Amino acid sequence: MAAITEGGAAIALDGAQKTRRHLTKARIRWVVVALILMFGAVAGRLIQLGLVVQDTTIEGQTRDLITATRPALLDRNGLELAVDIRVPSLFAEPRRIIDVNEAASAIHSVLPDLNEDWLRGRLTGDKGFVWVKRELTPEIEDKIMQLGIPGLDFVTESKRFYPGGNEASHILGAVNIDNQGIAGIEKSMDNDSVALLQSLGLARGNELAPVNLSVDLRVQHVMHDVLTDALTRYQAVAAAGVMMDIHTGEIVGLVSLPDFDPNNPVTALQKDSFNRITAGIYELGSSMKSVTIAGALDSGKVRITDSFDARFGVRFGRFTIDDFHGKHRILTLPEVYKYSSNVGAIHIMQAMGKDTFRAFLTRLGFDKTVPLELPEKRNPVVPAKFSEIVAATAAFGHGLSVSPMHMLRAMAAFANDGYMVTPTLYRRSLEDARKTYEQVVSEKTSQEMRYLMRLNALEGSGSRMNKFALGYRTGGKTGTAEKVVNGRYTTGANFNVFASAFPLDNPRYAMVVIVDSPRAENAQSGTTAGWNAGEATGRIIQRVAPMLGISPDFNPMLDDELVPVELR
C-alpha cells in the first residue's frame, strides 16, 4: 500500500514539472513574439521616419538662406561700413504646442509688444514652423527658454549693422529683415551676376571675404558734415555732393541730404530722402557752360583767343535772352566763362553749330544713364534734336535735365586730358580703369578747360570757393538755375551747382556739389551758387585735401603755368 502511494506521488510530481515546463515555454514564446512585435514596430517607425521629407523651412524660407551671411563692406582703407551680427529669432512649431492659451500668455509676458490674440492665432494649427519674433537680444532668448514651453525654439540669423548710421546711407542702401538687399550697393550685390559676385568674394553661403568699396570714410564724413551744415546755414531744402578720382573713376565720397538710417530701413521711405546724385535729374544752369565751351573748343570752330559780342541780348521770336549781370560789351572766351555770360555761351554754341553741340552731348553720355553700381537711377531728359531756341537755352543749362553724375564725369574728362572714365563704387586699379577710357576731348582742350576752371576760381564766380580752399589750386563752374514750379520758372527758388576739379596743376579729383533752394546766409550774402554750393565746395576741399595727400602750395607760378601759350 505504501509503495503504491509513493509511486503515485512520483507520478504526480513528474506531471506537475512537465506542466510548469510547458507553461514556461509558452511564456517564453509569448515574450519572443512580444519582442518581435515591439522591434518590428520600432523598425517600421524608423523606416517611416526615414521616408518622411523633413520640413527644413520656416514659412517658405530654407534654414540655409535664413542663416546666410553677407560680406562685410569696408571703405578703401579697411574701415567698416557694414557688418553682419548674429542675433536669435524666435519661431514656433504649432503642432507641438500643448496649451495654446498658456503659451501665448507666457510669450506675451516676455514680449509685451506682441498681441495675445495674434499669438494664439500664430500658435494654433498643425504647421511645422512659424515666426513669432525676429532679431531679439540674447537676454530675451534666455527669458523665453526659461519658460520651458515645448514647441518654441530659436534660430540664429544674421542682422546687418551699419556702424556709421546714416553717414553713407545712399551708397550702402539697406537690407530687409531677411538680410536681402533692397537699396544701394546692398541691392546691387544681390542683383549682380554670379561671376561678378564670386570675383568679389560675395557668393552667398560660402565663407565671404570682406569687400573694399572705393569710398574713403574720412572724405565721406567731411562731405556729410559740411553738407549738413549747408542745410542749416542756407536754410536749404536739400544738399548733395559727390567726389571722384578722375583717373580711376573711383567714387571716394557721395552724400545726399535728407538721407536715412540704414539700421532702420523704414526711414528710407520718408519724403525727399532719395539719392539726388544718381536718381535726381535737374537743369544744372551755368555749370553747363563748361560743356558748351569744351565742345566748341574741341570742334576746332572756336579758339581760346576768340571774342564774342555780348553787347545785346539774343532774340528768338518774342523772347530775348540776356545776361544776369551783363557786361554788355565784347567778351573774350575766358571772359564769357568767368562772367558766366549767357549771351556769350549762345554765340559760342552757334559758332560750333547746334547739331555738333547735340552730338557732343551724346559723346559725353548725357542722353543715357551713367553706368554706376547703384540701382537708384533716372533717365536724363535731353531732346533728341535741338531747335535753335532749345540749343540756345541748353548752352547755358536750361531745357535739358541730367544728373549730377553726368556733370561729374564730364568735369573729370575735362581735367584728365580728355578721357571719359566709367565711375565705380568698388576699388579699381588705374590699369583696369584705363580699359574703360573713351577720349571725348583732346588733350589740348583739356588743358584749356583747366585754365578756364582755375580762372573762374581766381577772378569769377568761384572766388568765394577759392577763399576757403586757398593753396589747393581748385577751380570750376557755378550753376544757378531757376526751379520749375507748376511748369513755370520761379524767381527766388534756385537750384545751385558747383562743379569743380583739384588740384588743377596736377588734377586728381572732380566734385559736384548741389544746394537746393538756399536762402541768403545774411544781409550781405546772395543766393546764387557761388555763395552756397561754391562755399561748401571750398570747405570740403580745405578739409579733405590734406587727407588725400595734397599739400597746399601758394606759388603763383603754378597758376601762371595753366595759362595757354596763346594767352600769355
User: Would you give the DSSP letter of residue 282?
Assistant: B
| Residue 286 annotated among the catalytic residues of the structure | yes
Which one is catalytic: 286, 290, 401, 500? 286
C-alpha cell at 375: 540701382
Helices 100-110 and 116-123, interaxial angle, to 10°?
A: 130
3-class DSSP assignment, residue 72? coil
User: CB neighbours of 25 closer than 8 A, spacing ≥ 6?
Assistant: none
Place of cell 568679389: 200
Give whole-number Cα distances, 204 to 189, 190, 197, 198, 374, in Å.
Answer: 10, 9, 9, 9, 20
Say if CB 290 and CB 408 are below 8 A apart.
no
Distance (Å, whole) CA 295 – CA 226: 33
Place of cell 495654446: 100
Ramachandran angles phi, psi of 465, nearest 5°: -60, -45
Query: How many other C-beta atoms can be found within 10 angstroms of the C-beta atom of residue 499?
Result: 31
Say if CB 444 and CB 320 are below 8 A apart.
no
Distance (Å, whole) CA 262 – CA 238: 19
Distance (Å, whole) CA 500 – CA 517: 20
Distance (Å, whole) CA 89 – CA 162: 20
Place of cell 510548469: 20
3-class DSSP assignment, residue 70? coil
Distance (Å, whole) CA 241 – CA 256: 7
Q: Which residue numbers are catalytic?
A: 286
